[in-house]
């Protein structure tokens, strides 16, 4: 069974113990059964396999712990040897199969050739089907369909075999090279002097089996190559025979269907004639019934005709589906790089083939529309089936009633004297109606089945088209569309320029436009009048735009129509050039399409039209953006753009438009030309390179950090992320177009052009999105301004009313006053969230057909990580790293905007407190970042099973080094869940009272009454003591002490204070205000007023108002507010002290200095 290469010298290397064992075991076996029948001679490999298996069972039965290491090593070698022997047997079996194919190839070739000749001869001799009834026809058609399905399956199987063989023939040389290298690296084992005999034996067996496996595989692969060469002609002939057989069966099936349709038509005609025959003697009621049946027969005839057309359509769809399946199979065999180095190894014709097939694929939208039409027809057909079933059921009931009445008459021997019993002609009419309904139901049911089959075929086509489109999009951008730029391309470019500069061709284009003018003068008249109107009114439009801008710049402007009118005027100012480009594109396309056949003049007109269209799509958004950026444009006066930045943008866009639009038109002109395929690699590339280099210069000038359009923003946000990373994004944006130019020169012209078209689409999307964002922001700003003016007027009116009638007390109201700051922040968050979401969605849809190309980066393997099972490995490729960047951006964008959007769109409509909303949004932000981090880590291969030991180690280290940080983080999460304090609560901690403004991961921020921010770690709030004034009840008590003079009427004073508290709008009636006379002070009688407020918001203002009102009211009532009083008592000095003082001189009593 072996290949016969180098096995003989290996066997004697087996140890003596093995030799003795091999000699004694068969002898013992023979001695034990001398009379048994001699067994079949075993092959050397089978004997060796049996010996290795015996050794393996022997060491597995031992339990000596001292030899566990030796036992494991022997077990590993024995198992590997058995695997190699199994591989040798498999390779030998395959080799025998290939050798059988080689020997049978000549005879098989003759048989296939004879069969092909037979099918060619019988192609024109297809016999007519011999059946006369519908049942026979249906049986024959079912048989033919089964045979056709078998033939189609055989043809598909042979086609796939051809594709797999082509792929296999490409793989075999590399596999043979690898096997020969492995065989050369196999060296006989060298046993150490003290090595155990079993280990020496195992090493020798391992070497022998490995060498046998490699040599046998080499021999099998070489035989496989010879088999492919022997059947190089046979397999295509088999495919041709299968196709011929399939075509023969299709022709038989077509004729059978034609015969079936003819039988159906004859049957319908017979039913129609029979029903018309009943009209001669029919009553009025019967005539109406017969006319209804005749209408049903006409519908039946149309349905049979539609079924015939449907069968033809289904057959064409099946042929189209089979064609694209075969194309897909062949292309997959040709385009299947297995390594990143092979991405650019395809010839340019492969890229051209993929582009052609991409353009020839059926339109999925059209196919979906066809499915909808078929579904509507299926519903209509099902409704018709239900009607026929109801009619048959009604006829059966009528016949049953007639039979029962006839049976009763027969049993009683009496006839229906009233004449209600149906006569023979009526019974015949009833039977004919039943036959029509029954036969029509059968055809309608068959038509419904055909509709379902047609829908299934169309759906299969859609699935194949989408899959094939994704396959092409995955590979086409990585395949050169032409060879790298060479000096010879300059000669071709010169020739193409001569072709475009040919005077007769341009004269023919002018002649075509003149002829179009004479054929459609009204279109040109409308165009001329419209253009003249726009051009002559340019200055007036600019003046009106300036007036609108002046009005919009005023602070009291609240009319949004001004902005809309300014937008319309800006579009009208851009419209003349765009209209010229689009109008001549339209008329040139119509002129080119009206020519019969292909002519060079018509080709030039079509190319010029495409160039004008591309120029219009580039010019319009750039010019509109330039109009917005002018001094009186929408950007500066309506949208609030910075004047300096707007001027820079307008200035740079002006020269870019003048230089870029002609190049874009030229690119569209040469791209659409099909006169010479070499133009793509010559003049098209030169124009494209000039275009992208011009774009690079524009970015260099526009985005200069110091003098560019972002200079004001960078100065305003100095130190921000955009400012810090300007050394990254500025060179990247400026070098991006240069990289496209390099790709084009290197041969990837189609890739570079397609990326440029997507950039143009992205530009359109961003201009439209920015315009919509600015318009909505302007509308919200004007609404806020209107609301602020209304509130200001209301305050003025209220102040005037108070001055007019000072005795009138203000009426309390529960309507909250809207905060402009809160409204501004809320709307800005909403606008940003919606704009970013729309931008992400728009970018995805614009670049969706390019995204499959990223999958090609899966062939560039970077490293491997462990999979879900111990034996599996997951490759981390370049695609994972490329996808990591948008995933990171998406995580950051979602983490910053989704919580705010959640609050605005959902939480504000739920009965939740502000603190609960804050907790939900904060936790949702944590969840987004956590899930996003897990997805990002999984994308680059950092799975939990691989990094759990690292996380554990970091957890231990960080637990000691950063335990305070973790404690604060966990405490912050506890605060959000348990909510002992919430955003907006008034708390007192460490003698500081203030409002909680933020709860973050590490600490909370408290703003005290002096607007100072106190940062308190979360851990202190959980483990320490604090006072929360507004935790469960925001009600708080105010205590006011009033001192009245001795002798005052205390009862009256208490009544006055009680009345003032009851009438105050912010004092709660429940709990009631409490006024008490609490003591006799040194200077006054103490009266204490205790009132309760609903919140702390107006605490100081309420205290101030109560103090002022109490003072004024007590004064008006003649009750004096006591002031501090002191009594001074003067007494006479003792006589002794007086005499002593009199005896002192002035100098003696003078104080010391």
Report CA dihedral (986, 988, 993, 997) to the nearest 10 degrees: -50
**What does DSSP assign to residue 991?**
T
Is 594 found in the same domain as 717?
yes
> Domain for residue 271, yes or no?
no
- Give residue 341's pLDDT: 40
Closest CA to 333 of 223, 471, 477: 471
Report the C-alpha gap between 227 and 104 in whole angstroms: 10
- Give residue 459's pLDDT: 92
Is 982 found in the same domain as 867?
no
Last-in-domain residue among 454, 476, 498: 476
Tokens of 488: 């010879």
The whole-model pTM stands at 0.59
**Strand 1003-1008 and strand 1013-1017: pairing?**
antiparallel
Is 505 found in the same domain as 457?
no
- Give residue 13's pLDDT: 34
> Domain for residue 1061, yes or no?
yes
Question: For position 1057, which CATH number holds?
Answer: 3.30.70.100
Is 1048 found in the same domain as 953?
no
Is 526 found in the same domain as 439?
no
Is 920 found in the same domain as 792?
no
Count CB atoms within 10 A of the CB of residue 808.
9
Is 721 found in the same domain as 649?
yes
**Helix, coil or strand: residue 953:** helix
> Domain for residue 826, yes or no?
no
Last-in-domain residue among 1006, 1032, 1058: 1032
Last-in-domain residue among 922, 939, 961: 961
Report the C-alpha gap between 972 and 1003 in whole angstroms: 7
> Domain for residue 481, yes or no?
no
Residue linked to tokens 């180690």: 953
Closest CA to 223 of 364, 96, 395: 96
> Domain for residue 820, yes or no?
no
Is 203 found in the same domain as 134?
yes
- Give residue 64's pLDDT: 66
> Domain for residue 1023, yes or no?
yes
Tokens of 903: 């609050």
Residue linked to tokens 């003032």: 1060
Is 784 found in the same domain as 640?
yes
> Domain for residue 1002, yes or no?
yes
> Domain for residue 4, yes or no?
no
Report the C-alpha gap between 443 and 445 in whole angstroms: 5
Closest CA to 80 of 97, 98, 56, 58: 56
Is 155 found in the same domain as 109?
yes
Question: For position 988, which CATH number holds?
Answer: 2.30.30.60
Count CB atoms within 10 A of the CB of residue 299.
13
Is 511 found in the same domain as 466?
no
Is 611 found in the same domain as 743?
yes
Positions of the chain with pLDDT lower than 50, given as ranges: 1-38, 337-345, 417-418, 596-598, 805-823, 1148-1149, 1151-1153
Report the C-alpha gap between 487 and 499 in whole angstroms: 19
What residue numbers bound the domain in which 381 lies? Answer: 278-336+343-408+424-476
Side-chain-facing half-sphere of 387: CA atoms under 13 Å: 12
Report CA dihedral (336, 338, 344, 350) to the nearest 10 degrees: -10
Q: For residue range 973-999, what is the model confidence (pLDDT) as tens digits?
A: 777 766 777 777 788 888 788 888 877
**In the chain, how many domains are there?**
6
| Angle between helices 749-804 and 726-746 in degrees, nearest 10 | 150
**Strand 986-989 and strand 1027-1028: pairing?**
antiparallel
Instruction: Enumerate residues 6+ apart whose C-beta is below 8 A from 402.
Output: 421, 422, 427, 430
- Give residue 344's pLDDT: 45
Report the C-alpha gap between 307 and 424 in whole angstroms: 36
HEC sequence for 149-172: HHHHHHHHHHHHHHHHHHHHHHHH
Report the C-alpha gap between 941 and 253 in whole angstroms: 56
HEC sequence for 392-425: HHHHHHHHHHHHHHHHHHHHHCCCCCCCCCCCHH
């Amino acid at each position: 069974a072996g290949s016969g290469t180098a096995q003989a010298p290996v066997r004697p290397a087996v140890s003596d113990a093995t030799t003795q064992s091999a000699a004694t075991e068969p002898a013992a076996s023979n001695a034990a059964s001398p009379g048994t029948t001699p067994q079949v001679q075993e092959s050397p490999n089978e004997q060796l396999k049996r010996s290795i298996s015996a050794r393996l069972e022997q060491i597995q039965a031992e339990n000596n712990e001292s030899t566990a290491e030796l036992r494991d090593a022997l077990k590993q070698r024995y198992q590997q040897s058995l695997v190699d022997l199994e591989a040798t047997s498999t390779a030998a079996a395959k080799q025998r199969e290939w050798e059988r194919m080689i020997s049978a190839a000549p005879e098989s070739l003759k048989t296939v050739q004879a069969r092909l000749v037979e099918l060619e001869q019988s192609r024109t001799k297809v016999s007519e089907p011999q059946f006369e009834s519908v049942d026979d026809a249906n049986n024959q058609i079912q048989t033919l369909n089964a045979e056709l399905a078998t033939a189609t399956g055989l043809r598909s199987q042979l086609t796939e075999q051809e594709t797999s063989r082509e792929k296999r023939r490409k793989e075999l040389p590399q596999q043979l090279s690898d096997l020969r290298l492995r065989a050369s690296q196999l060296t006989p084992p060298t046993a150490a002097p003290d090595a155990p005999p079993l280990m020496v034996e195992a090493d020798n067996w391992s070497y022998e089996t490995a060498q046998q496996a490699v040599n046998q595989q080499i021999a099998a692969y070489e035989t496989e190559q010879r088999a492919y060469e022997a059947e190089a002609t046979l397999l295509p002939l088999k495919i041709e025979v299968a196709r011929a057989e399939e075509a023969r069966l299709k022709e038989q099936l077509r004729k059978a269907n034609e015969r079936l349709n003819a039988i159906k038509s004859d049957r319908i005609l017979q039913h129609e004639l029979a029903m018309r025959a009943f009209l001669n003697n029919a009553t009025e009621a019967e005539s109406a019934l017969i006319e209804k049946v005749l209408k049903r027969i006409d519908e039946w005839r149309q349905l049979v005709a539609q079924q015939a057309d449907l069968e033809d359509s289904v057959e064409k769809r099946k042929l189209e589906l089979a064609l694209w399946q075969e194309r897909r199979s062949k292309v997959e065999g040709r385009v299947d790089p297995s390594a990143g180095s092979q991405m650019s190894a395809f010839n340019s014709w492969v890229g051209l083939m993929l582009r052609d097939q991409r353009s020839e694929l059926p339109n999925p939208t059209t196919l979906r529309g066809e499915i909808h039409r078929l579904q509507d027809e299926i519903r209509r057909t099902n409704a018709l089936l239900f009607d026929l079933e109801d009619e048959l059921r009604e006829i059966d009931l009528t016949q049953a009633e007639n039979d029962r009445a006839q049976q009763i008459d027969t049993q009683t021997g009496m006839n229906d004297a009233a004449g209600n019993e149906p006569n023979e002609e009526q019974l015949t009419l009833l039977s004919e109606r039943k036959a029509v309904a029954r036969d029509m139901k059968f055809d309608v049911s068959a038509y419904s089945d055909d509709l379902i089959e047609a829908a299934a075929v169309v759906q299969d086509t859609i699935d194949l088209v989408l899959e094939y489109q994704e396959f092409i999009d995955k590979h086409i951008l990585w395949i050169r569309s032409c060879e790298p730029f060479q000096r010879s391309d300059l000669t071709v470019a010169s020739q193409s320029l001569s072709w475009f500069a040919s005077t007769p061709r341009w004269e023919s284009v002018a002649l075509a436009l003149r002829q179009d003018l004479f054929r459609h003068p009204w279109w040109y008249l409308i165009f001329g009048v419209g253009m003249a109107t726009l051009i002559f009114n340019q200055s007036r439009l600019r003046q009106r735009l300036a007036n609108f801008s002046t009005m919009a710049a005023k602070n009291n402007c609240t009319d949004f129509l001004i902005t809309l009118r300014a937008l319309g005027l800006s579009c009208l100012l851009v419209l003349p050039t765009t209209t010229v480009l689009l109008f001549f594109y339209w008329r040139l396309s119509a002129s080119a399409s009206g020519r019969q056949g292909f002519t060079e003049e018509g080709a030039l007109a079509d190319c010029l039209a495409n160039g004008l269209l591309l120029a219009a799509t580039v010019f319009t958004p750039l010019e509109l953006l330039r109009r917005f950026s002018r001094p009186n444009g929408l950007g500066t006066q309506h949208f609030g753009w910075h004047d300096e930045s707007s001027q820079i943008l307008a200035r740079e866009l002006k020269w870019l438009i003048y230089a870029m639009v002609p190049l874009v038109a030229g690119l569209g002109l040469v791209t659409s030309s099909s006169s010479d395929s070499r133009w793509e690699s010559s003049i098209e590339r030169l124009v494209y390179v000039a275009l992208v280099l011009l774009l690079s210069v524009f970015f260099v000038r526009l985005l200069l950090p110091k003098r560019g359009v972002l200079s004001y923003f960078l100065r305003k946000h100095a130190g921000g992320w955009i400012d810090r990373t300007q050394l990254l994004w500025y060179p990247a944006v400026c070098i991006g177009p240069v990289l496209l130019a390099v790709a084009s020169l290197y041969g990837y012209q189609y890739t570079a052009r397609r990326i440029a078209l997507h950039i143009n689409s992205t530009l359109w999307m961003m201009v439209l999105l920015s315009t919509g964002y600015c318009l909505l922001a302007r509308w919200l700003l004007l609404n806020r301004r209107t609301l602020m003016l209304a509130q200001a007027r209301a305050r003025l009116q209220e102040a005037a009313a108070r001055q007019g009638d000072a005795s009138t007390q203000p009426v309390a109201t529960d309507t909250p006053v809207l905060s402009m700051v809160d409204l501004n922040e809320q709307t800005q968050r909403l606008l940003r969230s919606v704009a970013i979401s729309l931008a992400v969605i728009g970018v995805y849809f614009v670049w969706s057909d390019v995204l499959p190309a990223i999958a090609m980066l899966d062939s560039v393997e970077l490293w491997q990580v462990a999979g879900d099972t111990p034996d599996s490995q997951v490759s981390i490729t370049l695609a994972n790293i490329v996808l990591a960047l948008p995933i990171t951006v998406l995580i950051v964008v979602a983490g910053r905007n989704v919580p705010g959007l959640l609050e605005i769109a959902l939480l504000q409509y739920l009965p939740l407190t502000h603190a609960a909303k804050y907790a939900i949004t904060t936790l949702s932000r944590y969840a987004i970042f956590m899930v996003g981090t897990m997805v990002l880590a999984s994308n680059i291969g950092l799975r939990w099973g691989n990094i759990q030991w690292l996380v554990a180690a970091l957890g231990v280290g960080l637990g000691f080094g950063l335990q305070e940080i973790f404690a604060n983080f966990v405490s912050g999460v506890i605060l959000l869940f348990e909510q002992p304090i919430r955003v907006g609560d008034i708390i007192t901690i460490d003698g500081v009272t203030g409002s909680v403004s933020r709860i973050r991961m590490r600490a909370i921020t408290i703003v005290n009454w002096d607007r100072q921010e106190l940062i308190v770690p979360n851990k202190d709030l959980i483990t320490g003591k604090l006072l929360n004034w507004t935790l469960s009840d925001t009600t708080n008590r105010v205590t006011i002490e009033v001192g009245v003079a001795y002798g005052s009427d205390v009862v009256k004073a208490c009544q006055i204070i009680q009345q003032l508290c009851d009438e105050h709008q912010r004092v709660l009636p429940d709990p009631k205000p409490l006024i008490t006379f609490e003591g006799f002070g040194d200077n006054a009688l103490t009266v204490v007023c205790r009132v309760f407020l609903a919140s702390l918001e107006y605490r100081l203002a309420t205290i101030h108002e109560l103090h002022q009102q109490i003072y004024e009211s007590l004064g008006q009532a003649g009750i004096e507010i006591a002031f501090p009083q002191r009594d001074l008592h003067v007494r006479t000095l003792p006589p002794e002290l007086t005499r002593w003082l009199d005896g002192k001189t002035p100098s003696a009593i003078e104080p010391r200095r």
